[in-house]
Amino acid sequence: MPVAPIVVRCPCGVETRADAGDAVTCTGCGARYDTAAEAKTLNVLANRTQRQFRYLSRAGLGAVGLAGLAGLSQFQVPGLVVGAGVVALGWYVLLMPWMKRRLLAKAATLFTPVVAPKRR
């Protein structure tokens, strides 16, 4: 998993750019900070978001399958094609991008790239 860029704010007022998980030394006062906890939090959040994306894809596949079966039972093969096509278009072109944007916006509010870690 790629690391995320963060900004470490020291009480002396110096901001240092680093990657989550790095040990950072303040250039102003020499204090050392360990950002491993932020990297762990970011990994948990990324795994949760990816799991939600997988659930969305599987739910869409299930909805397409159910619509196809319903169309097949009512109108034979043309109903299968139309029912599955309409639901696939609605789910993967309209609904899923909207849901992804919503999930990513929610994830962005849970992790801020500016942290003030505890001294080690």
Mean pLDDT, consecutive 10-residue stretches, the chain (120 aa), reads 78 87 86 83 90 95 96 95 96 95 90 66
Residue 2 lies in a domain: yes
Residue-number span of the structural domain to which 21 is assigned: 1-34
111: left (phi over 0), alpha (psi -120 to 50) or beta: beta
Strands 23-25, 32-34: pairing kind: antiparallel
Q: Report how far residue 98's alpha carbon sits from residue 91's, in angstroms, rounded to the nearest whole number.
A: 10
pLDDT at 100: 94
Provide the number of structural domains found in the chain.
Answer: 2
Residue 42 lies in a domain: no
Residue 96 lies in a domain: yes
Residue 107 lies in a domain: yes
Identity (one letter) of the amino acid at 47?
N
pLDDT at 117: 55
pLDDT at 1: 55
Residue 39 lies in a domain: no
Tokens 């932020």 -> residue: 38
Residue 43 lies in a domain: no
